[in-house]
Amino acid sequence: MPQLHANLSKNGSIPDVSGGVIWADEVNKVLYLYGGEFQDSPEEFTLWAYDIVLNQWNQTEDTANGIQRVSWGAGVAVNDRAEGYYLGGLLR
């Protein structure tokens, strides 16, 4: 079992979303946040990554063009192949 952490933080610049999915990269100790609905005005799609070791959020710079934000779908990670999948959801 991976080590559990109860001291993770998020400042106000990181969006609050509902209905998104978090994928874990156990090798690099990073959590990826994809999708979700915003409470306030939405921003353009950005893939956020939380580095557990450094205790900081980062926006990934290699986001592909044409990806849109969806919410309330189903997500799964395949750690052995370093892949994440998202099926369905609402596009708003």
Q: Is residue 40 part of a domain?
A: yes
What single-letter DSSP state applies at residue 79?
G
pTM: 0.75
| Residue 15 in this model has a pLDDT that exceeds 70 | yes
- Its domain, for residue 51, covers 17-61+69-85
Q: Is residue 3 part of a domain?
A: no
- Domains in the chain, number: 1
* pLDDT tens figures, 40-67: 656 677 788 889 888 888 887 766 667 7
Q: Is residue 5 part of a domain?
A: no
Q: Is residue 78 part of a domain?
A: yes
Q: Is residue 73 part of a domain?
A: yes
In whole angstroms, how far apart are CA 68 and each of 45, 64, 81, 90? 6, 10, 24, 10
- Comparing 1-5, 51-55, 72-76, the range with the smallest average pLDDT is 1-5
